[in-house]
Amino acid sequence: MEAVLYNDKWVEKGKIELNEKVFGVEIKPSLIHRLLMLQRSNARVNLAQIKTRWEVKWSTRKIYKQKGTWGARAWASRSPIRRWGWVVFGPRGNRNFTVSMNRKERRAALFCLLSSKAQSSSVKVIENLDNSVEAKTKSMVSVFNSMNATYATVALNKQEVNAMKAIRNIPNVKAIYVNYLNPADLLKYKDLVFTKASLEELNWIYL
């Protein structure tokens, strides 16, 4: 499996060989879907919470007499059958949405995503991104226009701080560190751009 390699002048230099163990595995959509659901479910914040009988401020006064009104034997004004009353069997904010997935499955799903990017020729590698341009958004826009990657996820090394600062203001480009590659970003953006340093770190992390 190969990817397009760009030099420091953002000109296509040739091809670079990708690791078959990471970018050449069999694609399993069901595994990718499970990893995406894990990410979305574990990021979910449970905010729905109702007030119970003991949390609603209310008076215990009987609102009208029990007999002679031809109506129901009404209790307090904050009864659950009335407006502004408490809610019966409502959400309490303690529901657990966490989904589990073992480490080998998570790694295999990530390799499936990277392999799908490689098979569609969406993986691109640039030799150096941090020192080749100054840390300005305008310069980075020129880089991605030259690489024809205007809607991309950029995987960087933790030492490439200047590139991270310059990329984060570009609307359609998402810069993340290579050890935080995730299904949401890989599926959202068409292209995947590595630097040589981040590609070496990817191989070091997973192999």
Rg of the Cα atoms in the chain: 27
Interacting residues of 33 by C-beta distance below 8 A, sequence separation 6+ = none
3-state secondary structure (DSSP) of residue 170: coil
Question: What would the pLDDT profile of 108-148 be if each residue is shown by its tens digit?
Answer: 999 999 999 999 999 999 998 876 666 788 888 988 999 99
Domain ranges of the chain: 2-44+101-206, 48-96
First to last CA, the chain: 17
Q: Is 1 exposed, middle or buried (0-12, 13-18, 19+ CB in 10 A)?
A: middle
Domain 2-44+101-206, CATH number (from 3.90.79.10, 3.40.1370.10, 3.40.50.300, 3.40.50.2300) = 3.40.1370.10
| Band of residue 86 on the pLDDT scale cut at 50, 70, 90 | confident
Query: Which of 57-61, 98-102, 136-140 shows the lowest per-residue confidence on average (mean pLDDT)?
Result: 57-61
Exposure b/e, 186-202, CB count within 10 A at least 16 = b: beebebbbbbebbbebb
* Whole-model pTM over 0.75: yes
Question: What would the pLDDT profile of 154-193 be if each residue is shown by its tens digit?
Answer: 999 999 988 999 998 899 999 999 999 999 999 999 999 9
User: Hey, CA dihedral for 62, 67, 68, 71, is it positive or negative?
Assistant: positive
- Confidence at residue 16, expressed as pLDDT on a 0 to 100 scale: 94
